[in-house]
Structure 1
Amino acid sequence: MKITDVKTYIVGNEWKNWVFTQVETDEGITGLGEATLNGFAKTTEAAIHELKRFVIGKDPFDVEQHSLKLFRDFYSDGGQIHGAALSGIEYACWDIMGKALNVPVYKLLGGKCHERLRVYANGWYRTARTPEGFYEQAKKVVAKGYTALKFDPFGSAWRVVDRKDFQLALEIIAAVREAVGPHTDILIEGHNRFSVHTALQFADAMKKYEPTWFEAPVPPQKISSMVEVAKRSPVPIACGEDYYCREQFSELLAHNAVHIIQLEPQYLGITAAKQICAMTHANNGVIAPHSAQGPLCSLVCAHLNTATPNFFIHEIFDDFNSDWTQQIISHPVEVKDGYIELSDRPGWGAELNIELAKQHPYNPGHFLPLFRDGWEKRLAVSEEA
């Protein structure tokens, strides 16, 4: 079997353009991939077409070699764009292998470690940034059966906040805790916002609400800053979604400070992601992969998590996106009573609805402007003003 072509499709989801790939083979088996990256859909699409020459004419089963060559042989470090393009091709190779062998991808990754995956809701707080708004939305989430939910209460904050905004963030956290009760996990998203000192002030202040983690409280580029916060924070720190190579995780784990690793398979490919899960396991940590891209990303993470012994919890946006997005791929993940279970369909078990994709084309306003007031509503930028 040889790869004959790599095609791309951009789908204009309202708050983030999704980039899908389809890898074709000379035996008629096709593989589905995803390469979504906030704000860089067209750029990532172009990168896919620049990278595909490394796999045309190659056997899709040689996925370890493809993962290496797509990163190493290009020589330049293209960061997250490079990683997303690589993943779009590599994901599709795993799908082809599963289909050819008539097994789900998780079987190729080591088999089933978990019968079902506990999930946490994200993207549910599309409301005004008020304690009342978050309270009402959180009530709806737990009524759907979720036992964990994540949210960013910090608005458009960057590095430091004034006293009024600091207090508002805490009031939102308190409102969500009150809404969900003492036995539901709340996870606080920092979105790389703060200086070390501000992050630690928030960590100390939120402790009484017993969050399960404080995520990405400081920018990821200086691992030393993340380590300092993790060692001094009374709340567990989770991070990792911004990193795109094994070496970054190796350095982070070497400090023995962060033990909840949120790797982003979308920037790594499954081959490297599985290795990072093992690195985390060897360092007594757990994984909670970032799954905030498109619906195939959710499915890919579910296969990875199912086959990973040190899996912690799975992120879900799909339940809170527009209704039409539920049909963009066949057989997306389904949440029942706060858990998902994978089927035994071959490969990823899903195909792209190309006709529906054409009805929702790329829109440059479809990205998440995290430092703009009102971003929580996840509206297209052109709709905000």
Structure 2
Amino acid sequence: MNIARIETFFVRPRWLFVRVETDDGLVGWGEPIVEGRAEAVASVVEALADRLIGTDASRIEDHWQVMTKGGFYRGGPVLSSAVAGIDQALWDLKGKALGVPVYELLGGAVRDKARVYTWIGGDSAQALAEDALRAKANGFDAVKCNGSAQLGPIETAGQVHRIVDQFTELRSAVGDDFDFAIDFHGRFSTAMARRVLPLLEPLFPLFVEETVLPEFSRDLAQVTAGTSIPIATGERLYSRWDYRDVLSTGIAVAQPDLSHAGGISEVRRIAAMAEAYDVALAPHCPLGPIALAASLQVDFASPNFLIQEQSLGIHYNEGNDLLDYLVDPAVFAFTDGYVQRPTGPGLGIDIDEAAVRKAAKDPHRWRNEIWRLKDGSFAEW
């Protein structure tokens, strides 16, 4: 089962897929992507292919070691994401070759279904509450939303109150038997996090995500010590070494991204490291169906799994959505806030290759917005 061909496909709304084919005709799929930097990741996939073509596809760990370390210069989101997508595809191939889901190769399932949450938006507290109630009516019992727009290093009392008031209204609307998580996208300074988080404590958010930028991850102990709210982070950490200094800061939830943090191989290791620190796993995944399928394989094999992000209906998905490139969308049927354990071989999904090839003829060139503060200076998006 030697690797014969590696192809990448830019598919809307903002995804990059990789297809790995063996000399006996077996096909595995992965999703290597840095949102807004897809072209760079595709180039690295092409470079890595030079080492992979003609080699045994079943030697996943050896390939992972060579891809991450064999080029002398290591690390960073672009390389790690290219590795992640290829790694997903190799696990998909191995599972298909053996006729079992990937989680069986990771030690077997530890649960029958996985809890998922959905994204909501809203330009006002009322709109946010209405979107949450709509999600609740659609069967979800947990949502996530952004905590704010642009923020300065230390904001006014009015801005602080607006943040707290919108989530007070949200909690009032959904009741206490419904969870919401808040994503601040690194827009807080440490000082702002210490000021705002205690005010949110009476609302019992499931977790608050990325309160500060990843550059300040080592200083998260200052944030966690100042609040009882579970702190989540990790979508912009790309390896177990990145997590080494973070897991001991008192965070509650680790959020590695299966398309950024070295794929199934590395996220499985990060999950095990997190378990040793009493930290739960909630993989980051506002991406496409392959990334979600890979995430679920790790979720079903990880004892410390908490909840899974998924992108159906997310604001990024304009024109195309999570289920568009699947032969059978039912594999991602969300019922009462859960998704059932997939039973198909490999990643447990069938990619509609014809739809992917057709979409790739009209490739995206997605870029995130650039935000600025009132004084014209750069603001974290």
TM-score by length of 2: 0.91
Q: How many residue pairs get matched?
A: 365
Residues 239 and 270, structure 2, Cα contact 8 Å, conserved in 1: no
Deviation at 1:164, TM superposition (A): 2.8
What is the root-mean-square deviation of aligned Cα atoms in Å? 1.8
Residues 331 and 349, structure 1, Cα contact 8 Å, conserved in 2: no
Q: 2: distance between equivalents of 1:22 and 1:327? A: 17
- CA deviations on 1:311-356 (whole Å, 9 max, x unpaired) are 1111122244457422212335221110001221111122333443
Number of the residue aligned with 1:191: 185
- CA deviations on 1:158-198 (whole Å, 9 max, x unpaired) are 53333332222222211211221111111111111111110
Q: 1: distance between equivalents of 2:10 and 2:154? A: 36
Q: 2: distance between equivalents of 1:5 and 1:73? A: 20
Residues 295 and 318, structure 1, Cα contact 8 Å, conserved in 2: no
Number of the residue aligned with 1:377: none
Q: 2: distance between equivalents of 1:359 and 1:316? A: 21
Number of the residue aligned with 2:199: 205
Number of the residue aligned with 1:8: 8
Q: 1: distance between equivalents of 2:74 and 2:156? A: 38
Residues 287 and 310, structure 2, Cα contact 8 Å, conserved in 1: no
Number of the residue aligned with 2:379: none
- CA deviations on 1:79-132 (whole Å, 9 max, x unpaired) are 11111100111110001001111111111111110100111112x21x4x2111
Number of the residue aligned with 1:369: 369
Residues 107 and 301, structure 2, Cα contact 8 Å, conserved in 1: yes
- CA deviations on 1:284-319 (whole Å, 9 max, x unpaired) are 221111111212111111111001111111112224
- CA deviations on 1:207-258 (whole Å, 9 max, x unpaired) are 1211121111001122222222112223111111111111111221234x11
Report SS of the residue matched to 2:68.
helix
Q: 1:78-117 maps to which residues of 2 (within 5 A)?
A: 78-117=75-114
Q: 1: distance between equivalents of 2:208 and 2:279? A: 16
Number of the residue aligned with 1:294: 288
Q: 1:236-315 maps to which residues of 2 (within 5 A)?
A: 236-255=230-249, 257-267=250-260, 268-315=262-309
Q: 2: distance between equivalents of 1:6 and 1:359? A: 18
- CA deviations on 1:26-60 (whole Å, 9 max, x unpaired) are 01001000012211111111111011122111111
Residues 21 and 88, structure 1, Cα contact 8 Å, conserved in 2: yes
Residues 4 and 26, structure 1, Cα contact 8 Å, conserved in 2: yes
Deviates more, 1:18-27 or 1:218-227: 218-227
Residue identity in the other structure for 1:262: Q
Cα 1:160/1:351, change in 2 over 3 Å: farther
Residues 160 and 195, structure 1, Cα contact 8 Å, conserved in 2: yes
Deviation at 1:368, TM superposition (A): 3.6
Q: 2: distance between equivalents of 1:116 and 1:213? A: 21
Report SS of the residue matched to 1:117.
strand
Residues 2 and 25, structure 1, Cα contact 8 Å, conserved in 2: yes
TM-score by length of 1: 0.90
Cα 1:158/1:96, change in 2 over 3 Å: farther
Residues 218 and 225, structure 1, Cα contact 8 Å, conserved in 2: no
Number of the residue aligned with 1:379: none
Q: 1: distance between equivalents of 2:78 and 2:319? A: 28
Number of the residue aligned with 1:233: 227
Deviation at 1:370, TM superposition (A): 7.2
Q: 1: distance between equivalents of 2:148 and 2:155? A: 9
Residues 220 and 226, structure 1, Cα contact 8 Å, conserved in 2: no
Report SS of the residue matched to 1:159.
coil
Q: 1: distance between equivalents of 2:370 and 2:101? A: 36
Q: 2: distance between equivalents of 1:251 and 1:225? A: 9
Report SS of the residue matched to 1:232.
coil
* Stretches of structure 1 lacking an aligned partner (at least 5 in a row): 374-385
Residue identity in the other structure for 1:143: A
* Stretches of structure 2 lacking an aligned partner (at least 5 in a row): 374-381
Report SS of the residue matched to 2:259.
helix
Residues 12 and 320, structure 2, Cα contact 8 Å, conserved in 1: no
Cα 1:203/1:370, change in 2 over 3 Å: farther
Q: Which of these residues, 20, 26, 47, is aligned with residue 29 of structure 1?
A: 26
Number of the residue aligned with 1:179: 173
Residues 44 and 82, structure 2, Cα contact 8 Å, conserved in 1: yes
Give the percent of matched residue pairs that are identical in Structure 1 and Structure 2.
Answer: 28
Q: Which of these residues, 143, 150, 154, is aligned with residue 149 of structure 1?
A: 143
Residue identity in the other structure for 1:12: R
| Deviating 4+ runs (over 4 angstroms) | 319-324
Number of the residue aligned with 1:337: 336
Residues 60 and 91, structure 2, Cα contact 8 Å, conserved in 1: yes
Deviation at 1:372, TM superposition (A): 6.7
Q: Find out whether 1:53 has 2:46 as its counterpart.
A: no
Report SS of the residue matched to 2:4.
strand
Residue identity in the other structure for 2:286: A
Residues 282 and 307, structure 2, Cα contact 8 Å, conserved in 1: yes
Q: 2: distance between equivalents of 1:319 and 1:307? A: 27
Residue identity in the other structure for 1:25: T
